[in-house]
Amino acid sequence: VIFGDGYCSGPNQVKLGVIDKDFRDYFAGISEAWLGIRPNSHEYIRRGKLYYEAHINSRDVRNFVFDFLKCKNVPKEIMVSKDERIKCMFIKGFSDSEGTISEQCIRIYNKNLPLLKSVKELFIDIGFDSKYVRCGYHGRGIYATYIYRHSFKIFKEKIGFTINRKKEKLEE
């Protein structure tokens, strides 16, 4: 989430802004369990769409997230972890935040190609066949990691989505 829809705002805030209420609420629950802080949540209209936001007011949390964002890559602790669940949870948060699903593939978008290549490495580390996980230029300064339909079953079993509309597409 940190590398996707989450961001730092001002000297004391971390925010998540999304179009899926279930994702915002999941983030709020994880944040409360991890930090002991229940994020403030609200809804508003942005570009004609209902938008959901959660924010945490904490200088310490903001500084922690900001330090993570400076590295601009999957944190080393995740890349070298022997615990597959840690890698899967990172991919899940990133896929929920930056991913989309169609009949042919799951695409995870970002402007940061080295980050997407590291995410591709995580997929391969947890058992995805490298023939079905690709990185490439998508257009307009955006890159994508593509997970092809052949790998949907393993994606569903090991990673999945938090967002209901994406879960439903994966089930089709």
pLDDT tens for each residue of 112-161: 999 999 999 999 999 999 999 999 999 999 999 999 999 999 999 999 99
Tell whether pTM > 0.95: no
The string of DSSP letters for the chain reads -TTTTEEEETTTEEEEEES-HHHHHHHHHHHHHHHS-PPEEEEEEETTEEEEEEEEE-HHHHHHHHHHHHH-S--HHHHT-S-HHHHHHHHHHHHHHHEEE-SSEEEEEES-HHHHHHHHHHHHHTT--GGGEEEEEEETTEEEEEEEGGGHHHHHHHT--SSHHHHHHHH-
Average pLDDT, the chain: 92
Instruction: Write down the pLDDT at residue 10.
Output: 83
Instruction: Write down the pLDDT at residue 2.
Output: 62
